[in-house]
Amino acid sequence: MLEFDIQALSGQGGRSYQEDCQGHRVAGGILCLAVSDGAGGHGGGHIASELAVRAVLDQHAHEPAFLPETVARLIELAHRVVHSGQQKFPQYPDMRATLVIALCELATGRILLGNVGDSRGYVLGAGGILLRTRDHSIAQQMIDAGMLTADRRERPRGGNVLFASLGMEEPPEPYVYELAMPITGGESVLLCTDGFWEALDERVVCEGVQTGNTVASTLAVLEGQLLGSIQPGHDNYTALLARSRQAAASFVDADSTVILRAPPGGDEDRQRTVILPRSRA
């Protein structure tokens, strides 16, 4: 049985608004993590991202399951909810969002990831990146063609154009992944928006996550490096880091939910949740 230390980091960057949203929930012995970013240029991104995260976590609480099809259905549900939101909020008829989710089966250590857009998911271990999601972007197509490296921080002009996101007219085709081997403790799951991963070299992120520092201090160090490298007008950034460890007992409280959208500038930026074993009566 695994348990996770979970820490969230979120900031506005150089923007006057925040369109990222993230949250997590444990239900049925499965940890569900979700990060969403309102797609720029469409308006209402702050609404779209929160609708997506809430839809995923509410459905997970209602019907927890661990299958690749479950990940696809959660993303499809989030798309329908964002699409319905376009009708509910007529001032934002084109609002859209990216989404990345992870399901972690606590009893076995198995992990599933799924995404739409350019918010990313990573599974990180002592050997480096065990699994990385693919973006639905022009830049990803260039990576696939060998024209760009995956860890390049600055995308070429037009490379951030997305060909799939929640809220588009046609339902997106999500990417779904399963880690080949279960994790056993010490590995980390990192979900983040493009405002986070674009500003940090992947090697720096991997080394930072595997330093052995606490989850909170790990993200604090990475945020310091991010803020030291970004330019004026930089995008919102969000990261949700979950580090695994072997539980001392086999019973986990399945009733824990956190959704956070905090303004930058203080301790409110970070929400720490530790899923702890509870003794049987």
Residue 104 lies in a domain: yes
Taking 60 as the threshold, does the pLDDT of residue 231 lie above it?
yes
For the stretch 133-154, pLDDT in tens is 999 988 888 877 777 776 555 5
Domain count, the chain: 1
C-alpha atoms less than 13 angstroms from C-alpha of 166 in its C-beta half-sphere? 41
Q: Which residue has the higher pLDDT, 255 or 267?
A: 255
The answer to whether 191 and 240 are in contact (CB under 8 A) is: yes
Domain residue limits at 153: 2-274
Residue 281 lies in a domain: no
Q: What pLDDT, on the 0 to 100 scale, is given for residue 143?
A: 78
Residue 31 lies in a domain: yes
Q: What pLDDT, on the 0 to 100 scale, is given for residue 268?
A: 40
Residue 52 CB partners (closer than 8 Å, separation 6+): 21, 34, 36, 78, 81, 82, 97, 99, 166
- pLDDT band at 257; cut points 50, 70, 90: low
> What is the CATH classification number for the domain harbouring 256?
3.60.40.10
Residue 46 lies in a domain: yes
**Residue 252 gets which letter from DSSP?**
B
Residue 279 lies in a domain: no
Nearest partner of 120 among 143, 148, 141, 150, judged by Cα: 150
Residue 109 lies in a domain: yes
Q: Which residue has the higher pLDDT, 151 or 26?
A: 26
- pLDDT band at 280; cut points 50, 70, 90: very low
Residue 69 lies in a domain: yes
pTM, rounded to two decimals: 0.86
Residue 210 lies in a domain: yes
Kindly report the average pLDDT of the chain as a whole number: 87
- pLDDT band at 38; cut points 50, 70, 90: very high
Nearest partner of 240 among 83, 63, 5, 1, judged by Cα: 5
| Average of per-residue pLDDT across 27-46 | 92
